[in-house]
Every structure is written in structure tokens, then in C-alpha cells.
Amino acid sequence: MQGKIQYLVLTDPNRIWKPDLFFSNEKKGHFHEIIMPNVLLRIYPNGNVLFSIRISLVLSCPMDLKYYPLDRQTCSIQMASYGYTTDDLVFMWKEGDPVQVTKSLNLPRFTLQKYLTKYCTSRTNTGEYSCLKVDLLFKREFSYYLIQIYIPCAMLIFVSWVSFWLDPNATVARVSLGVTTLLSMATQISGINASQPPVSYTKAIDVWTGACLTFVFGALLEFALVNYASRSDVHQAAAKQQQQIQQRQAKWAVEHNIEDGTGRTDEGTYGLRGDGYRSCEIHAKPHKRRNWCKRWLSKFPTRSKRIDIISRIFFPFAFALFNLVYWTTYLFRDDLQTPIK
């Protein structure tokens, strides 16, 4: 036709030879045949053949979930020849831009950062087979996990700290608050694990949930310690009051000259002069200088109150320190700092 026809379009692709290409990491797939088979076949005057077909595939993608949900995953599309060796068939990437990705690509939990084209020619006992490979680098969207997992877990920890401001004698309120937050955290962890594949190693989210559960359980144990200290304070106060009563009785007896003759009490050593007046020797203990922490804690008379005061400072400080170590470790790790080639 003297160049008037640029190419021929064939509707029956079975009339020409096609390479035996297959996807080596395919799990399942299907062709699209509505309303007609989605196939494009063009033959150019110089002998080039363009064969295009629309298919949908489910491909296997082994993932390393050690940094989940702060991870990046690389999934591959591997295309190889099944029966023809490299002596008969060689696949080559087209020069320029061999892979096109739609601009409207929108994944619910991932962002496609980059894709790389490679060769994966393999050698087996039956020969060497040509192979092409596309590596797709995905970054997991963290905002979903921040709202659904990280913030609720942190809020449960903050709620468990409310018991530090309750009265040590409010046993029902403090126990109910501690047990409720502990059960809520356990339920949250169960829901998280149910939506994840089971793996044999610890993930980043496991470290977070485990630490949050530890903080909530620690707040419950803190009340047990406060309750024990409160009961001890009551017993010590009763014993001290009894001791003061005995000291008053002993002093009253000395003053009324009905002591047993020893003239010795807890307040010091008493003796009688010939003129009938009593002399007293008081043995005072040397006063030790206390540091500012002990002076500050001395403002609170009971040990139970001191434990609550210390917990109000220690628990938030420990949680802040854990967050500093956690986010520094997982957000500034080496694989994120390495540029993508």
C-alpha cells in the first residue's frame, strides 16, 4: 500500500507465534474477556510485533514485618520463559520508560515510592532461562495506625495514672480503674493481633503494645503497694500512739514519786538529790543534714502518700523516656536513611 498502512491489526492472536512467558511468583490470575477479549496485536512493516493483553494477577510478596507498621516493603513482578532457553529466547527491557504506572494509583495503606527494573535470568538443570523483574517499593501509611492503635493505647495509660491522684483509702475506685484499663488494653492487643499474620519474631507494634500493657499493669501494682503502705501506716500510728500513752504514764509516775526506784525512763536518766529535787540528763541524738529530696518527701506524713507522689513523677517520666527511645530507634533506622537506588 506504499506506506499508507502503518500496521496491521489482528483480532486472532492464535495465528502468530508468542513467547511462553509466565509469572513465576503468581498465586492466581485471570484474563478479561468482557465484552470481547482484551487483546491488542499489531504487525509493523519492518517485522516488529506488538502484543498487548489485559490480565489481573495476585502475586506473592514475602514481607519482613520487623518494623511493622513503620516498615517499607519491596514486592516483585517476575516474568520468565518457561520452556525456551536463552539460546532461543531472550527478554529485554524496552529502552526509556519500560514501566508505566497510572497517576491515579491510590492504595489504602501503602504508597508506591519507586519501582526498579532488573534482570533475573536463572540457571537450572535444564538450561538457562531469561527473566525480567520489576521491584515495587511500598511505604506503609502510618496515619491509620497512629489514630487506631498508638493514640488509644497512650490514652489508656493516661487514664490509669488518674489513680495516683485518688485517695489511698478509695479502694473500690482505684481497683476498678486499674482493672478496667488493664482489660481494655488486653482487648486492644487482641484486636491488633487478630488482624496481623502470625510471625515468629517481635514487631515494632508488639514492642509498643507490650510496653503500654506494662505501664497499665504497673499502675495497678502501684495501688497494691500503696494499700499495703497505708495499712502499715495505720499500724505504726496505733503503735506510736500506744507508746506515747505509755511514756505519759511513766512520766506521771516519776513526777508523783511512784516509780520503781530505778529512775530510768525513755526520756533520759533521772536521779533524786538529797534536797528532794530531781535532776535530768537528756541524751540528744545528733541531727543529720538531709538532702532536698528527703526534705520534700518529709512534707507528706504517710508512706502511702509518698508513693503516690513519686508515681506521679516516675510513671510519666518513664513513659516519655520510652517514647524517646522507641521513636528514635524506629524512625531513624539505617534502612530509612539509605537512599533508594
Q: What is the DSSP string of 249-281?
A: HHHHHHHTT-S-SS-EETTEEEEE-TTS-EEEE
CB-count burial class (<10 Å; 0-12, 13-18, 19+) for 215 = buried
Grid coordinates of 120: 533475573
Rounded to whole angstroms, how far apart are CA atoms 159 and 177? 8
Residue tagged 506524713 (cell numbers): 301
* CA 209-106-196 angle, 5° bins: 25
Go through the domains of the chain in sequence order and give each one's CATH number. Answer: 8-140 (2.70.170.10), 142-237+299-336 (1.20.58.390)
Task: Give residue 197's pLDDT.
Answer: 80
Grid coordinates of 262: 530505778
H or E, element range at 62: none
Catalogue the long-range contacts made by 298-305 (C-beta closer than 8 Å, 24 or more residues apart). Answer: 302/168, 302/229, 302/230, 302/233, 303/229, 303/230, 303/232, 303/233, 304/168, 304/226, 304/227, 304/229, 304/230, 304/233, 305/168
Beta strands 110-119; 131-140: pairing state = antiparallel
Task: Give residue 257's pLDDT.
Answer: 56
Q: By three-state DSSP, how is residue 77 classified?
A: strand
Task: Give residue 338's pLDDT.
Answer: 52
Task: Give residue 208's pLDDT.
Answer: 95
Task: Give residue 66's pLDDT.
Answer: 92
Q: By three-state DSSP, how is residue 58 classified?
A: strand
**Backbone phi, psi, residue 319, to 5°:** -70, -40
Do 26 and 57 touch, CB atoms closer than 8 A? yes
Task: Give residue 328's pLDDT.
Answer: 93
- Along the 341 residues of the chain, how does pLDDT read in single tens digits? 677 788 888 888 888 888 999 999 999 999 998 888 889 999 988 889 999 999 999 999 999 999 999 999 999 999 999 999 999 999 999 988 899 998 888 888 899 999 999 999 988 898 999 999 999 999 999 999 999 999 999 999 999 999 888 887 888 888 889 899 999 999 989 988 888 888 889 999 999 999 999 999 999 998 888 888 877 766 666 666 666 666 776 776 666 654 455 444 444 444 444 444 444 444 445 545 557 666 656 666 677 788 888 888 999 999 999 999 999 999 887 765 555 55
Task: Give residue 228's pLDDT.
Answer: 84
Rounded to whole angstroms, how far apart are CA atoms 334 and 69? 16
